[in-house]
Structure formats: structure tokens, C-alpha cells
Chain A
Amino acid sequence: MGKEPLGIRSFRVLTGAVLITWLILPLVPLAIWSFAKGWFYPDILPRNWSMRAWEYAMSDTAGVLDSLWLTIWISLVATILSILVGVPAGRALGMYKFRGKEIVELMILAPTIVPGIAVVLGIHSIFISMGLTNSVEGVILVHLIPTLPYMVLVMAGVFANYDPAFEAQARSLGASPLKTFWYITLPAIRPGIIVGGLFAFLVSWSQYILTLLIGGGRVETLPLLLFNFATSGRNDITGAIGMIYILPGIIILLLTAKHLSGRSGAVGGFGQI
């Protein structure tokens, strides 16, 4: 294409600038609040700055750190379970054609589209009788509803591009099934497992209503704490917790940026974050 007129180029830069501003805008007041000491109308910026909110969030007594570790634990266990169960299912869907495959795919797709509130009320009334409400175990179990289908779909994509010939060769040379998996299959699918696992972690990390209902408010993960501070008007502490809460996403983004193009099946899961 030839050189474009200046007008079009500057239009592009301008809309780009508007887009950049809009994308970053909602995070700005949160960040400022976390360093503000009282920030009253009509001050555009706080008159006094302070580290108070951060000191509070980092103190042992406030419970923010406890909540942080709890959230990491829940998301980590939900992710590991999703990997253990999701990899075999992904292999079946990615490598085989079989009768009823479309129905199986539909059943796995459904939880990624049906909102949590539609299923969690029914689950809650059963979990009560099983003693799973108000417990970390119960919360981890319901987090599998959004994370597992996601992991299966990502792994199905990985296995669709996977060549099983190497496995057959290893087996014919006398390797046991376990050895074949460990030395042949796993190295080949490891990048897929890591990316899928990191995003499954984020899906669990962002769950709110599932945790609120099944945890009954007793299992206070970071989003629940954040919501409580936001609705009780403690904007400075809300800001600090908000910043802590988005950190894993930023870290995971820096680790996986090249996998985040829309071409990867992994992006579908972001509809739920």
C-alpha cells in the first residue's frame, strides 16, 4: 500500500490515544486512593499522601495477607485439579473422533457460557446437607465449574496438533506407558499445560459469587474482602487491596504475552474473568 495521507495517520494516533486513556482510566483512581490520606471532594488530587492503607494491608492483624494466601491456595488447588482431570479429557477430545463427541463438547462448553448464579443456588442446597458449605473444600469444588471446562478446551486444542507417532515409537522400543508419558508426551504438551494452567488460575482468582454463596462469607477470598471494603467506603484500603488483587494477572501476562492473541483457544476463558 502506498503512503497514507497525514490526516488518516494522525486520526489513527488520536483514536489510539483515546483508547489508551480509556483502557487505563478506571485503574488510576484506585492506585491514587491507595496512597491518599483523605481525598475529599472537590480535590482533583489528594492533599496529603500516606502509606497508611498499604501498611494496613500488609499488617498481620488486618487479615488482608491471610486472605491473599487463602485465595492463592484455593486457585492453586483448583488449577492443579483441573490440570489432572482436564489433560486426559483434552486428549480424548483432541485426538479421537467418536460417537457422541459433539454432545460431550457441548456439555463441556456449557459451563463456560452459563453464569455461575444459575447453577450455584442448586449446588448450595445440596452442599448444605453434605457439610460442604462454609468450607474451603466446597469453594475449591465449585471453582472447578469454570476452571475445568476451560482447561479441557485448551488441552483439546493442544492435542489436536499433537503427533502420537513418537509415543508409538517409544513404546515399540520397550518404554513403559508411564515412561512414555513422562519422557515423550509431557515435554510435548508442557507449554500448553503451563499456559492453560496459568489462565485457569486467573479464572479461579476472579470468582466472586461462587465463593460468596458456597463459602457463606466464611471463606473470605481477596475479591470478597475487596467488595466489602469498597461497599463500606474505605476507599484507601480498597485501592491497596485492588492493586494487590490485579498483580497476579499482570505477572501472568508478562509470562505469557505471546499466547494471548485471539488465535489461541486460551482467550475464550477471559470472558469469565
Chain B
Amino acid sequence: MSDRMKIFLLLLPAMSIIVVLFFGGLLIGLMRSFNYMPVIGLTEPDLSAYASVFTDREFYYSFLLTFHIAFTSTVISSILAIGAALLLRRNFIGRGVVNFLFQLNLTVPHLVGAIGILYLFSQSGSFARLAAEFGMIQRPSDFPALVFDPYAIGIILQYVWKEIPFIGVIVLANMQSIGEDYESVARSLGASKWQTFRHVLLPLIFPGVLSASVMVFAFTFGAYEIPAILGANFPAALPVLAYRKYTDVDLAARPEAMAMAIVIALLSALMIYFYVRYSRRRIRG
């Protein structure tokens, strides 16, 4: 058997599944978003779903909120993850515990973290109770709204909790394979600790940080169950809004749901572009 034939047969089952399910699902969603579905007699594609989505204020609120959630969570997690990785590079009492908890968090589903954040930060949650104990608040409603709130603080807290370990392990491994020689050289040439970090280590780990952050951004932009647990009713995160539209009793809302799904897909396509760009550069370097 020729190599070409062998490669083709080895890839065939996996590629068939991915093409049919993933790309098929995307394509059907795209077609339905254009009201185009010849099988059920819709033969005239139109833009009415996009027109009603893009003229709906709720969509813009949702989009901005979701972008804010994804962007803020990604930036905060990345910065704290770099800090955590710098910490874990060194020996200190408790390093083993932090390492273990990092790995433990990787295996805990987001949903569990979301419920935990709810029990911690809601107005009758653990922190509100502590505040009451110390006489800082009189009644639960005095406690600042950190979940179901318009700024999505609870959602962001959950993502930060879950993504620091994710980005952290990747950055830490990155730092360990780079080693400390470059930094030693910079230090011996008189660079300060900050200069060494800023001009030597950071540029070296940046591609790794970026490719991990891109995955986090795409995930946090498209996740459903976390904003469904911790988010406000209005505006809802885009995936929650899309799900609501899709399961609406009014079937006419379905193409709008599909249009929102396509918006999410387009944004993640952009993320894939960045991911590939930076992970390639990392491989070459």
C-alpha cells in the first residue's frame, strides 16, 4: 500500500466524524441562519434573521457583555497566571500544595466552580455572612451584588478561578523549558529584576501565554452554563440568549438563534487564527 493510501485510510474515520458533525453542524446552522433549508421547502435564502438580530438592542447588550466577560476574564487570568508561574518556579513552603491544587482545579468542571462562586458571593453567601458577623452589613441586600449583577463579576471570578491554573501550568512548563540562563546573563550585565522580566523572560513566554489566552477567550465567549448560573437575566450572555431563542415556543426565533451561533463561530475563527499564528511562531522559535 502506498503511503498516500495509508495516510488517507488512517485519517478517514476521524475526519469523517469531524467533517460531518462539526463542519456539518456549522454549515446547517449557517444555512438556517439565512432561512435556507431546501429539505423543508425554504429555497429562498434571505437576511431577515440577521436583520432582526442586528436591529435588536438586546443583542448588542449581550454581545458587549459577553465580550467584556471574555476579555476581562482572559486578561486577569493571564496576568495572575504569569505571577503564579513565577512563584511556582521557586522553592517555597507550600509549593507542592499549590501544584496539586492547580492540577486539581484543571479537573473540576466549570459548572461546579460556578455553583461554588454562587454560594460564596451571593447576597446570602459565605462572604455576606462574614460581613454580617463583623457588623459591616445589616441585611443581605446591603452586601454588594456580585452575582446576577450587570457587570458579570461573579462570572469573571469563576473564570479567573478556573483559568489561572490552566494558563499557569502552560506558562510554567514554558518557563521551565526556557531555563534561567538568559535571565542570568541579563542580570550579570546589570539589568534589574524588573528589566530582566520585562525584556527577557516576558518576550520568551509571550507566545505561550497568548496561545493559552486565545483558548480561554474562545471558551469564555461561548460557554453556556456558567453565565446561566451566575448571570443576570438581562442582558444575558450571548450563548444564553442564543439558547433561549432556540428553545423559544415561537419557532420563527430559531434562525435568529442560528445567526447568534454564527457570530460566536466567527469570533472563535478569529481566535483560531491567532492561536495558529502564535503557536507556529513558538514552534519555529
Residue numbers of A with Cβ under 8 A of B are: 9, 12-13, 15-17, 19-20, 22-30, 33, 41-44, 84-86, 88-89, 91-93, 96, 98, 104, 106-126, 129, 141-142, 144-145, 148-149, 152, 202, 205-206, 208-209, 212-213, 223, 226-227, 230-231, 235, 238, 242, 245-246, 249-250, 252-253, 257, 260-263, 267-268, 270-273
Contacts and interface: CB of A to CB of B under 8 A. Distances in A.
13 contacts: A27-B108, A41-B129, A107-B15, A116-B222, A117-B243, A120-B25, A145-B18, A148-B14, A206-B111, A226-B115, A227-B229, A246-B108, A271-B212
A121 B19 contact: no
B102 interface: yes
Q: How large is the interface on B (under 10, 10 to 19, 20 to 34, 35 or more residues)?
A: 35 or more
A242 B116 CA distance: 9
The 7 closest A-B pairs by CB, nearest first: A115-B222, A26-B116, A249-B107, A262-B173, A122-B29, A89-B14, A122-B28
A237 B265 CA distance: 36
A122 B30 contact: yes
Contact of A117 (B107, B170, B222): B222
Contact of B87 (A15, A260, A267): A15
A114 B7 CA distance: 26
B10 A115 contact: no
B14 A108 contact: yes
B4 A98 contact: yes
Q: Which among B4, B17, B243, B275 has the greatest number of chain A C-beta atoms within 10 A?
A: B17
B23 interface: yes
A241 to B, nearest CB: 10
Contacts, number: 304
B271 A113 contact: yes
Given A27-B108, A86-B14, A272-B219, A227 B225 contact: yes
B218 interface: yes
Given A121-B29, A260-B169, A30 B112 contact: yes
Interface of B: 3-4, 6-7, 9-11, 13-15, 17-19, 21-32, 39, 83-84, 87, 90, 92-95, 97-98, 100-113, 115-120, 124-126, 128-130, 132-133, 140, 158, 161, 164-166, 169-174, 176-177, 212, 214-216, 218-219, 221-225, 228-229, 239, 242-243, 246, 254, 257-258, 261-262, 264-265, 268-269, 271-272, 275-276
